[in-house]
Structure formats: structure tokens, C-alpha cells
Chains A and B, each alone.
Chain A
Amino acid sequence: MLLISALYIENDVATHPRVAALKQRYANVPHISCDRYGEVFNPKSQNFRLQKRAPALIVARKHSGRVLAAPDGYGAGEGEAYYFSHMLNCLYDCRYCFLQGMYASANYVLFVNFEDFGDDIDRVLEESPNQEQVWFNSGYDGDSLALEPLSGFVEHFVPFFQSRPRAMLELRTKSTQIRCLTALEPVDNVVCAFSFTPASVARGLEHKVPDIERRIAAMVELQQKGWRVGVRFEPLIWCEDFRSRYRELFAQVLEPLNADKIDSVSIGSFRMPDGFFKKSRELYPDEPLFAGPLSSTRGVVGYTDELNFEMTQFCTDEILSRVPADRFYHCKEALA
């Protein structure tokens, strides 16, 4: 069971059935009431790095902005793209993650009003009657699967999407928590996308993340059970022996999969808005990643253009030698 240091409960959802279950599950940690989750989550006098040692769980209602348009250039599929976040923050602690720069708090926020998210998704679908498919991405403010035992997100939303074939759901994860999916029959309009960096980079930067072998095994199992799986080599991290490390990674991840059935493979550069980067570096001033060959362009920090080009060109060529071109895309936009 996920350990949490406290359970903060918005008064508005105190009697919600999902909250009642969490209260029971976490009967042994302090239960603290609040009017709005922002009272706990947003104050400035907080330290994300320290809180990451023992995050609390905040349960709340998401009142607005539940389903948002994804920027152009984002996402794999044809058609309009949106994203929605039933949770803020992540079980894992990846040093390149924008969450550490975006939020004051490392506490998990779980929005329990799933039905309102569903209504908004339906509204988007109604407003796009001519779109063959509309993409809804989850897993940008937190891993889609890692906290499933606590959130019940997949349990609720996979059947929801199953009954709306025009709506495509992308789950994004580094988790091996796939029982919630393998317990179900595969659903055509749900893609489970796994993110990877080379094993040696992951060991240095992806704290608390399951090792790469276990993640590959989980991904292969899902594909073998008939689920659509995607592969996300995001973010690309400039590292010693970059070419050999990434060549090895592509082989390690892609070879065990049935190439004909891979839904999509993407790459995306490391990038972070200036303000988030500054805060991340303040939290971890000795982190080599932040002392790398980075520059700021139009308010976003990333690798220098030259280096970016070199990295993406190499990875594109390598991946296209293994995967059909129509399954590959280069994610050029960050959500944050």
C-alpha cells in the first residue's frame, strides 16, 4: 500500500464514496479537513524536495478546467488532442520532470469527481461531431497507472472510453502496475504508452521508478494480451556515450515487442519553462542535468539547438530502422 503522511480532505468531498474508501484505507494516518485543496497545495512556504520524502494525499473536487486542449504538435494521433488530469503529482521522482518546478508541493492531489471529467469529455466529443477521433491524454501531471490502487482511475475511465469509440485515451506511465488493465478485455481506443530513458540514465535521474527490465516486461505482457501499447523515448537526455546508450535502449525496448502491433513510438527533447527550470535547479543545485549544455529560447530551457538537432536526428534514424514511419512522431511541444 502506498504510504502517505496525512490525508487532507476537502470539506466538499468529505462524504464522497471514493473518499470514504480512502478514509478507511488510510485510517491510521491523520485526516485533516480543508476548504479547498489549494490551501494545502499552493502556499509558497513549501519545499517540494523535502515533501517528496513523505508526501501527503489531498482529495478534492476539480471545479473547472478539467479537460484542456493540447498544443499543436503534441501527441501521436490524428485529430484533435486534449489532456486531463485526475491527479497532480507523481509517485516517482524524475529529476527532469517539470512537476518539481511547477508545483510548490509534492503532495498528491486526487480529484475524485471523475463523473464531471466524463461529462466534460462528452461535451468535447459533442462539439467535434465531424472528428473521426479525438485524443484525450492522461498522465501529464502524474503517472496514469502508478497510483491506480489508490485512485481507481483506470477502473473508471477505461470502461468509460470503451463506450465512446471516437474518444481515444492515452495512458502515460513508467509503472509496472498493469493488473488493472490485464484484468480487462483489451479496448481498441485505449493506448498505454510507456516512457523510457537508457537504463544508466534512469538510475541517475528516475528515482523510485521500477527498473527498465520490469517495465519492458509489463509492456510486452500488455501487448501480448491485445492492448495497444506505445513507446515514448521522452525526454531525450544528453549523456556520456549518447549514441551507444540510445541505440542499446531502442533495441532493448523495441525488439521484444511485435513491431506490427506497436501503436506509436515517439521522441521528445528535454525542455522546461524558464521558471520551472530555475526552481528545479534551486531545489537540486548539485544536479548535473541542470548544469548541462542547456539554453533558454522563447522562455523554454532545453538543449542547445545544435545538440538537439544532433540528438533527434540520430534517434529518428535509429527508430525508423526498426519501426514503420507512420508509427513514429517527434513530440515538439511540452504541455506545461
Chain B
Amino acid sequence: MIPGPNINLVTALSSEAKPLIDAFRLDRVLDARGFILYAKDDVSLVVTGIGRMRAAAATGWLAARQGESRSSAWLNVGIAGHGSRPAGSMMLAGKLRDAATGRHVFPPALVGRGLDRDLVITVDRAETGYSEDAAYEMEAFAIWDTATRFVTGELVSFMKIVSDGPEAGEIETIDRAGVISLVGAHVEAVSGVVDELRELAGIEAARTAAPAGIDAYLEHWHFTVSARHELTGLLRGLHARDPDAELIDATTRSCKNARAALDALAARVNAADTGVAVD
């Protein structure tokens, strides 16, 4: 299990991954089975393979490896066709459409201020008609659908780099070196977005973290799932009211079971009624 928060980069192709592996100095995770995974510090990169099925599977797989963390951030980086933009231009997804169902979603625009945003359409076969002024690719919607089962949408972002289209050239002319070059030209922007996502993920990590002192309770008594929720709330409340309070005092420690410990803790939380502290 990898503890959160994590930054998860998701690419379909190993050629898309190559410049990111270099930039973030990632190492291959040798015990990873099922998908190719790289990681270093808080950054992981999974190579999904082409298409929505593989993208969804890889995203779910990585989320599971990370203990279904609520504070992982996800950034899909990849090439795309585009109806009007020239090769090499880059954009974030402001709106995603699943071409198969016509469904739209709107990844929140919290990161990448100043970068262009476009409609990104996830298709099942490589698009050569480019009928709309949009980016065409094959994974984004599936990654969104899967990642947002685990994390809030603000932590999921999509960066697309134009490789083909009426203004960019034919899809058949793209080779591995070309993809590496296209993605490599935007590593700095990727890094900037990663930093912003890391900050947001940090806020979520702090918000969703188990409260301080909970281990002492869990080691001492057995709590059911609902009792554990209650314990979490009470410890949060105690800390909110008095950040310096002893999290498990002598009276609580002498309790015979979890219920009694919760009652003792509740009594302490409710005892302080001085109201909101003011400066």
C-alpha cells in the first residue's frame, strides 16, 4: 500500500510516459503486475495501454494499490487529434464527452490557470474526421469515471497535446520519437499542474486523515465500524475545541470497553462550552 497523498500520472503509451519518467526521475516498480508502473516519492505513473477499457482498469488498479486513497491526484497526459489546433499545441480538458453515450462531464478548472481548455472527446476508434473543434482521444472519460469513484473531481485533470488533425498532420505519420518529442515539449507545464494538484491533494489529505490519537484508542479497545466513526468525530471535536487537550486521559484509559471510552470522551468534548475562541 502506498500512503496518500499521491500524484498519479496516467498515460496510454510508453512513449507518452518516457519524458515524464525522465522529468520526475521515476523508477520502475518491479513488483507491479498487470500494468507498467513507475514511482518515486509521491509521484506514480501508470501506462495503461490504448482505449477506455485498459484506462479504466489501470486507474482502478492503481487506486486499489493506494488503498483507495481519497487524496490522490490524477493527471492524464497524452496525445490527441484536434479539429483545428496545430501539432504540438497543448490544452487541458474543460469538458469531457463520451462519444459512445454523448454524456458530458466538466473537470473543475482549479489547476492550470492560464492554460487553454477545450472539449475533449473520448472515442473508441482513432478519429480521422475531426468534425468538431475539439480534441479526440481514447482514454480520458474512462479515467475520469474511474478516478472520481475514489477522489473528488478537483483532483482529476487532463492534459492533451495535439498530434494530428487538419492543422496538425495525419495520424499515420506519428511515431514513437514524435510522441516523445510532443510530450517532452510540455514537461514544464505538466510539472506546474502537478505542483498545483499536490497542493489540493494535501488539503484533502489533511481533511480526510485519521485524527491524532485514534491509534491509542484502537489499540486499547475493539471498535465496530460505526463506533469508529463516532470516535473519529469525537476526537476531531476535542481537537477543534482544544488543540492542546490530552487525547486520551486517565479516566478514559480506565474504561472497560469501547462504549465506555466513547462516553467518557463525549463527556470531555461536551464539557467545554466556552464557545468559539476569539483573539
Contact = CB atoms under 8 A, between A and B. Distances in A.
Interface of A: 5-6, 8, 30, 32-35, 39-40, 43, 45-47, 49-51, 53-54, 56, 198, 200-201, 203-205, 237-242, 245, 283-293, 307
A239 B106 contact: no
A8, A50, A51 — most chain B CB neighbours (10 Å): A50
A292 B276 contact: yes
A45 to B, nearest CB: 4
B106 A49 contact: no
Nearest to B147: A45
Interface in B131-188: 148, 151-155
Closest 10 interchain pairs by CB? A200-B278, A238-B275, A291-B237, A30-B117, A6-B109, A291-B240, A47-B152, A45-B148, A239-B275, A32-B94
Q: How large is the interface on B (under 10, 10 to 19, 20 to 34, 35 or more residues)?
A: 35 or more
Contact of A32 (B117, B236, B241, B277): B117
B200 interface: yes
A242 B275 CA distance: 8
Contacts of A30: 94, 109, 116-117
A54 B236 CA distance: 27
A56 B108 CA distance: 8
Given A5-B109, A30-B94, A291-B240, A50 B276 contact: no
Given A6-B94, A47-B152, A285 B106 contact: no
Interface of B: 94-95, 104-106, 108-110, 113, 116-117, 119, 148, 151-155, 200, 203-204, 207, 211, 236-241, 269-270, 273-279
A30 B111 CA distance: 12
A292 B275 contact: yes
Given A49-B203, A50-B155, 15 more contacts: A6-B117, A32-B95, A33-B95, A40-B106, A45-B151, A46-B152, A47-B204, A50-B152, A50-B203, A53-B200, A283-B207, A287-B240, A291-B238, A292-B241, A292-B276
A39 B275 CA distance: 39
A290 B152 contact: no
A137 B123 CA distance: 48
B211 to A, nearest CB: 8
B106 A51 contact: no
B144 to A, nearest CB: 9
Contact of A34 (B95, B241, B273, B278): B95
B110 A240 contact: no
